[in-house]
Structure 1
Amino acid sequence: MKLVDRQVTRELTGPFLFGVAAFSSVIFAITVMIKLTQWLSHGMPVLMAIEGVILSVPGIMYYTLPMSTLLAVLMGIGRLSGESEIVALFAGGVSLYRIALPILGLGLVVSGFSLVLDEIVTPRANVRISELEKTALKQTPVSEKPFTVEDPGTSSVINVRGGMDMDNAILRDVTITQYVKNQPVLFVYAARAQWAGINNPALKYRWKLYDGRAYAVDLKDPRSIAITTFTKGQSREVMIQKTRDDLALYRNLKAELMTFSQLSKMVGILKEHPDRDISQIRDLEVWKWNKLSVPLSCLVFALLAAPLGIRPHRSSSSVGLGLSILVILIFYVAGRYTWNLALNGTLMPATAAFIPDALGVITAGVLLKRAAK
Structure 2
Amino acid sequence: MVSRMYPPKPRPGDRVAVVSPSAGLPEIFPYVHELGLRRLRKEFGLEPVEYPTTRVLGADPRDRARDLTAAFADPSITAVLATIGGDDQLTVTPHLDDAVLRANPKPFFGYSDNTNLLNHLHRLGLVGYHGGSVLVHLGRPGAPHPLTMESLRAALFTSDWYELRPAREWGDEPLDWNDPSTLDIEPPMFPGTGWTWAGAQRTVEGPAWGGNLEILHWLAAADRIAPAVELAGAVFVVETSEELPSAVEVYRMLRNLGERGLLAGFPAVLVGRAKAWDFARPHTVEQRREYADAQRAAITRALTEYAPDAVIVFDVDLGHTDPQLVIPYGGDVRVDGVARRITVRY
Same fold (TM over 0.5): no
Whose helix proportion is higher, 1 or 2?
A: 1
Q: Identify the TM-score tier after normalising by the shorter chain.
A: under 0.3
- Compute the TM-score of the two structures, normalised by the length of structure 1: 0.20
Larger Rg: 1
- Compute the TM-score of the two structures, normalised by the length of structure 2: 0.22
